[in-house]
């Protein structure tokens, strides 16, 4: 009834804008959501939240339930991590996003953070989509590893069908034969989504390339094609990160990136 395709037909000029007490996604702004792959400690998250506050970028990510291929890898701090996120949020006034991996955790996670993330492995975990569709929190829906654009939009529809229209799509690279990069970042998918849907779409160059040295140039490319923002991994010390250090930049790199983003906002007519 109130799904993607139907709205699209009725309101051609409609664009979904998501409002966090004044900070918006989808309104012609370019947002930067930054933070570590995994929440490791209060100290780490406070340092991260502070640099985000200093940069004025507001949005922070941090994983506390981590979907890891290997069951013996670090799985995240779980509930303890949620507590840390909430403390950082209150102390530094950042908007916090974290992944939710199972229907059973949706309620708990929703109490602590501002944005729910659905990871690429769960893009077609339909019960999870329905469950987050019943919350009032915005949802970042990552594209599945080998999901077509059509399947990705249909997954968004699962969330919206339940009443939650605040979906943010996130292109994070697809799996191809090429192994120089962790995945192949498909920037044309951003353009496709802009043609087919009214939803905001952001880009994750950290997962999309798996290489810290490609984050900045891909962030610029994301601006060039009109994405609504990026989600990147930053860490006080990427070499010691408990996961995904290879695709994280340090705070100096983050500061540079924000400088570039500010410069390009005018060039590419972001507000």
Stretch that binds a second copy, among 45-53, 79-87, 110-118, 263-271 (CB under 8 A): 263-271
d(CA 44, CA 50): 10
> Number of residues in contact with a second copy, rule: CB under 8 A?
64
Does 59 participate in binding a second copy (rule CB under 8 A)?
no
Residue 124: CB minimum distance to a second copy, A: 4
Binding mask of the shown chain, residues 7 to 46, with x at each position contacting a second copy by CB under 8 A: ----------------------------------------
Whose Cβ is closer to a second copy: residue 146's or residue 237's?
146
Q: Indicate the residue among 18 and 123 with the shorter CB distance to a second copy.
A: 123
Binding-site member from 40, 186, 204, 233 for a second copy (CB under 8 A) = 186
- Contacts of residue 196, defined as CB under 8 A and 6 or more positions apart, other chains included, come to 8, 149, 153
Residue of the chain from 78, 221, 236, 245 that contacts a second copy (CB under 8 A): 221
Closest CA to 25 of 191, 206, 230: 230
Nearer to a second copy, 10 or 70 (CB): 70
**Minimum gap (Å) between residue 92 Cβ and a second copy:** 30
Residue where the block lists tokens 């708990």: 108
Determine if 114 is a binding residue for a second copy (CB under 8 A).
no
Q: Give me the residues that bind a second copy (CB under 8 A), please.
A: 3, 67-72, 101-105, 121-122, 124-128, 144-146, 148-151, 154, 157-158, 161, 174-181, 184-189, 191-192, 195, 208-209, 211, 213-214, 217-218, 220-221, 223-226, 263-264, 267-268
């Amino acid at each position: 009834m109130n799904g993607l395709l139907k709205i699209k037909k009725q309101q051609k000029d409609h664009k979904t804008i998501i409002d966090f007490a004044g900070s918006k996604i989808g309104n012609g702004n370019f947002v930067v959501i930054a933070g570590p792959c995994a929440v490791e400690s209060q100290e780490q998250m406070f340092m991260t939240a502070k640099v985000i506050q200093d940069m004025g970028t507001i949005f922070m990510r941090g994983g506390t339930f981590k979907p890891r291929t290997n069951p013996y890898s670090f799985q995240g701090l779980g509930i303890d991590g949620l507590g840390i996120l909430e403390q950082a949020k209150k102390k530094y006034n950042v908007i916090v996003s974290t992944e939710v991996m199972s229907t059973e955790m949706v309620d708990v996670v929703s109490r602590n953070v501002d944005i729910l993330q659905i990871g690429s492995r769960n893009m077609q975990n339909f019960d999870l989509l329905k469950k987050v569709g019943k919350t009032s929190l915005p949802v970042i829906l990552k594209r599945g590893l080998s999901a077509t654009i059509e399947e990705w939009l249909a997954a968004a529809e699962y969330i919206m069908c339940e009443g939650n229209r605040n979906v943010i799509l996130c292109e994070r690279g697809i799996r191809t034969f090429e192994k120089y990069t962790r995945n192949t970042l498909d920037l044309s998918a951003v353009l496709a989504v802009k043609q087919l849907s009214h939803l905001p779409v952001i880009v994750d160059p950290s997962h999309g390339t798996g290489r810290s040295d490609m984050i900045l140039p891909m962030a610029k490319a994301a601006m060039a094609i009109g994405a609504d923002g990026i989600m990147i991994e930053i860490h006080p010390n990427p070499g010691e990160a408990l996961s995904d250090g290879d695709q994280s930049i340090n705070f100096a790199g983050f500061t540079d990136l924000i400088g570039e983003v500010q410069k390009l906002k005018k060039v590419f007519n972001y507000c």
